[in-house]
């Protein structure tokens, strides 16, 4: 099966969907599922694109992510570290690790994300989590929630 | 963990390795492992690059591939179909399906490939397989073995 790129990070027969529909705080993101998994190969390949100045939800979960940036630039919080990221950089998000992606103000941030089909739901930070994150200056400055 | 792109499809602390070391027929390919899997997340993300005019091994196996082209152009055989492929196209190789990638003569073909860590060894075609493949004109013209 070939899933063909139509240009501008859109693909034939792949709908452009909202990032989430659960009321979680995020800003200006779309989601496209490029590979939906199969019976014996239980993983999904998704493409997320964050518009300039936008961000993903601050969350953690048991399942891991492998992410590859394929468009633009931004920054990412993983655990207690904020890193600049750009095209072709790889990000691994370990289990139960706070993470949030942000696009730079003048550039989108587009990335591939590989996850297992069978995965737990993300958890958002509660007041104690936020108090902990706020003890880390780089995280405190970075997070949006 | 951030694995940083150094430019020209090479990454910090990622060695550029031979594609295979088993004497299989292929031409002008390198392999880089961008994510090596973890205990609970048993998948690998590899980057392969085929030089202009080069090709991968003609093979099949029980495990599946999800591939995304991120550099250049080429063609791919999957089963009985040969398709043109270019940057940002996705290729799914199902279980036990003959496949071979070729770069165009004036361009490299670079692609990400996701596989399970726990996977079977590839099988190369025997005389009967080749006789079958040769009944398919597009495959017969395309394959190198």
pLDDT, position B26: 78
| Pick from B5, B63, B86: CB nearest A87 | B5
Q: List pLDDT tens digits, range A65-109.
A: 999 999 999 999 999 999 999 999 999 999 999 999 999 999 999
pLDDT, mean over chain B: 94
Q: Is B36 helix (H, G, I), strand (E, B) or coil?
A: coil
User: Which pLDDT value is given to residue A50?
Assistant: 96
Q: Once rounded to an integer, what is the mean pLDDT over residues B105-129? A: 96
Mutation target to probe the A interface, by most A beta carbons within 10 A, among B10, B49, B92, B118 is B92
Rounded to whole angstroms, the Cα distance separating B74 from B104 reads 5
**A70 touching B (Cβ < 8 Å):** yes
The CA-atom distances, in angstroms, between B106 and each of B67, B86, B138 are: 21, 13, 21
Q: What one-character-per-residue DSSP string does B98-116 give?
A: -EEEEE-TTS-EEEEEEEE
pLDDT at B19 over 70: yes
Please tell me the pTM assigned to this model. 0.94
* Token pair for B137: 């004109």
What's the confidence (pLDDT) of residue A105? 96
Average of per-residue pLDDT across B10-24: 84
> For A110-127, how does the pLDDT look when each residue is reduced to its tens digit (9 = 90+)?
999 999 999 999 999 999
The whole-number pLDDT of residue A136 equals: 97
Contacts of A43 in chain B (CB under 8 A): 43, 66, 114
Q: Which two tokens stand for residue A98?
A: 């706070």
Beta-carbon separation of B1 and A86 below 8 A: no
B90 touches chain A (CB under 8 A): yes
Q: What is the pLDDT of residues B50-68, one digit of tens each?
A: 999 999 999 999 999 999 9
- According to the model, what pLDDT value does residue A59 have? 96
- Residues near A126 by Cβ (< 8 Å), separated by ≥ 6? none
pLDDT tens-digit readout, A18-72: 887 666 677 889 999 999 988 789 999 999 999 999 999 999 999 999 999 999 9
Residues of A in contact with B4 (CB under 8 A): 89
Residue B145 has pLDDT above 90, yes or no: no
Q: To the nearest whole number, what is the mean pLDDT of chain A?
A: 94
């Amino acid at each position: 099966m070939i899933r063909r790129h139509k240009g501008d990070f859109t693909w034939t027969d792949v709908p452009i969907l909202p990032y989430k529909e659960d009321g979680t705080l995020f800003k200006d993101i779309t989601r496209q599922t490029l590979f939906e998994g199969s019976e014996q190969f239980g993983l999904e390949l998704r493409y997320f694109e964050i518009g300039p100045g936008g961000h993903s939800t601050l969350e953690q979960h048991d399942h891991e992510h492998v992410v590859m940036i394929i468009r633009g630039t931004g920054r990412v919080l993983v655990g207690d570290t904020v890193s600049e990221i750009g095209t072709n950089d790889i990000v691994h998000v370990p289990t139960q690790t706070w993470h949030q992606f942000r696009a730079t103000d003048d550039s989108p941030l587009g990335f591939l994300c590989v996850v297992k089909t069978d995965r737990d739901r993300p958890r958002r930070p509660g007041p104690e989590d936020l108090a902990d994150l706020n003890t880390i200056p780089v995280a405190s400055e970075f997070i949006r929630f």
